[in-house]
Amino acid sequence: MSRYILTLISLLLSTNFLLAAQELNSPAIGQRAPELTLETVLNKPDKVEATLKALNGKIVILEFWATWCQPCIPAMEHLSTLQEKFSNHLQVVAISSEDEDRLRKYLKKRPTNAWIGIDSDHSMSKFYGARIIPHSVVIDKDRIITAITFPSEITEEKIKKLLSGESASFKEKKRYVGGNLSVDTEISQFTLFHVSVKPSQSQLTWSQIHNKGSFKDRRITAGRFTIPMLYQLAYQIPSPDRVIYNFKNSDQYNYENAEKFDFDLIVPQFQKEQLYQIMIACLNHSFDLDAKLEKRKIKVKVLKVKSKGKLNVSDGSEDVYTFKGPNFEAKNISIKKFTEYLENHTEIPVVDETMLTGRYDIKMEWQFEDPKTFHQELEKMGLVLEDAERFIEHWVLSD
């Protein structure tokens, strides 16, 4: 599973990632774009109005993004390069719901010629159906919406075509229009055992480990997962860096090409401790894949205690675990669980050698555009990541 997809899943699991529901009158490709309704626009010349009318004759790209969205950072760099190359004929308007202070910090680290629009009430993102970011809207010189697409689809060649009056082909980004994020509500709360594996009807990749209600700790649900992703979830593998794919045709299992499935499992109360083992058995019964453990010596990051007394020991009053990219907050969490979060943002596996066995309250706020802040936040807690080599267990998936 690619790191992009893993990041996408983590964003979907965060409480604030999804924007409000798409308005029914959202504009479509081929329609005239309505005027911009942004509260504040940073980075634009003082004498230029932030309106499509003022930009008449230029191609305008509306890029919905956030500084906490990991895929958005390279997307912004790509669009900034286009903005610089076509400065007289193109204007990128990057639209975020974040506050002005956070966006100015981003601009200080990653200067750009793109305008930065603030959409704190989500009115623009609702109108354009930008529920999953990054989300790009291309508006041509005549204010006609040419594409609702992905940043990677917007290339120098396509910009040149539009400027010369030719048509350009963009992969259309399908907008999320329904509530496929919820689980099957028709299942009775008194259900003892249930399993369902079927071709996906979801429009989003997501998963849920039920931690409250009648299914607490005995139900696991996933939507739009590939087969390898389901195995990674079942074996509780913290990151794709710990998976070795041994497939005859690897392209068959790439996220873009692979068949997607919706999975739902409920086990009896007395078997909730075996939830994941039962999930593995269900997957083995449904799919022809083998999974085995294999130890390999590889480069890792080792988490160690640098100084004492900076971690907040939890009083155990509540369990909290939320993250939105670089914004992480947890209460009553183990260091082992914390390393799983860290591993999502390193290029290699993270090994816990802190010898800390307690439960802690941890809060991290770092910046994708400034990677050194990742390590600075660890230092505040008296922790450090060091390079090393260790024998690490990997899961080998074979068909």
pLDDT at 288 over 50: yes
pLDDT of residue 136: 96
Q: Which of 2-11, 202-211, 333-342 has the lowest mean pLDDT?
A: 2-11
pLDDT of residue 183: 54
pLDDT of residue 14: 37
DSSP state of 296: E
Comparison of pLDDT for 120 and 13, the residue scoring more:
120
What is the average pLDDT across 194-214? 86
What is the average pLDDT across 343-348? 86
pLDDT at 139 over 70: yes
Chain segment 141-150, per-residue pLDDT in tens = 999 999 999 9
Q: Give backbone dihedrals phi and psi of 183, rounded to 5 degrees, phi first.
A: -80, 175
Q: Give residue 185's pLDDT band: very low, low, confident or very high (50, 70, 90).
A: low
Q: Which of 116-130, 141-155, 235-249 has the lowest mean pLDDT?
A: 235-249
What's the token pair of residue 312?
Answer: 């907040």
pLDDT at 132 over 90: no
pLDDT exceeding 90 applies to what percent of the chain? Answer: 58
pLDDT at 23 over 50: no
Q: Which of 182-186, 220-224, 257-261 has the lowest mean pLDDT?
A: 182-186
What Cα–Cα distance (Å) separates residue 41 from each residue in 32, 52, 284, 357? 22, 13, 53, 48
Query: What is the residue extent of each domain of the chain?
Result: 25-163, 179-288, 292-399
Q: Which of 3-12, 272-281, 390-399 has the lowest mean pLDDT?
A: 3-12
pLDDT of residue 25: 58
pLDDT at 111 over 60: yes
Comparison of pLDDT for 5 and 314, the residue scoring more:
314
What's the token pair of residue 144?
Answer: 């006609």
Residues pairing with 207 in the sheet = 222
Q: Give residue 335's pLDDT band: very low, low, confident or very high (50, 70, 90).
A: very high
| Domain at 25-163: CATH architecture | 3-Layer(aba) Sandwich (3.40)
Q: Are strands 90-96 and 115-118 parallel, antiparallel or unpaired?
A: parallel
pLDDT of residue 354: 95
Q: Where are the beta strands (DSSP E) in the chain?
A: 40-42, 59-64, 90-96, 115-118, 135-139, 145-149, 194-199, 206-209, 219-225, 243-246, 261-266, 290-305, 312-313, 320-324, 327-333, 350-352, 360-365, 383-398
